[in-house]
Amino acid sequence: MDSSLLAKESALVLILDIFFIWFFRDPKRRAEGPEDVIVSPADGKVVDIRDNTACIFMNIYNVHVNRAPLSGKIVTMKHKCGGYLPAFFKDSHRNERNLICIESDYGLVRIVQIAGTVTRRIDTYFNVGDHVARGERIGMIRFGSRVDITPPDGYMLVVNKGDRVKAAISPIAIRNTTGPDYPGHHAGG
């Protein structure tokens, strides 16, 4: 084999190795602040808010490890096979997805992990009946994808479309303790 061809192949392998090490990074994070504040389950950009649900798109450069937005017990996990449309499209309801429901001291929080165009795998680290702590790693979606989060009744979203969020760090929703519950109400709208 030609030494220049071998050098080019070696360089390509090294570049791919560096990319995968960077892509699958998993920084240490700890949720801080009041326990009843819902933190983001994913790094990314809020691409939509509808029906009291925040939709967070994770681009290729975001960390793809998902984290528990509240402490509680996993009471539901449902995997649905599907397609691989870009996760930011409204038609992504046809994509492969994984529903995780966590029963917390403050109510039921719903997380939907949605596969994207390149994604071919959603990994979940827990099972029904397991307890998770707020900010704890709960799974990973490989490559570009989306995570939707719906807080329990009595919470209002504190993010807006276009906001950038970080898993376990950025507040997504807070309890409405100053008046009647406003399901569907969110900051800026």
The whole-angstrom separation of Cα 186 and Cα 15 is 43
Q: How far is CA 170 from CA 18, 43, 62, in A?
A: 28, 9, 14
Active-site choice (71, 92, 145, 170): 145
SS3 at position 155: strand
Distance between start and end Cα atoms, the chain? 64
The whole-angstrom separation of Cα 20 and Cα 175 is 39
The residues facing 99 across adjacent strands are 78, 112
Q: Is 145 a known active-site residue? A: yes
Name, in order, each residue with C-beta under 8 angstroms of 12's C-beta and a sequence gap of 6 or more: none
The residues facing 165 across adjacent strands are 44
The whole-angstrom separation of Cα 118 and Cα 60 is 10
What Rg, from alpha-carbon coordinates, does the chain have? 18
DSSP 110: E
Where in the sequence numbering do the catalytic residues fall?
145
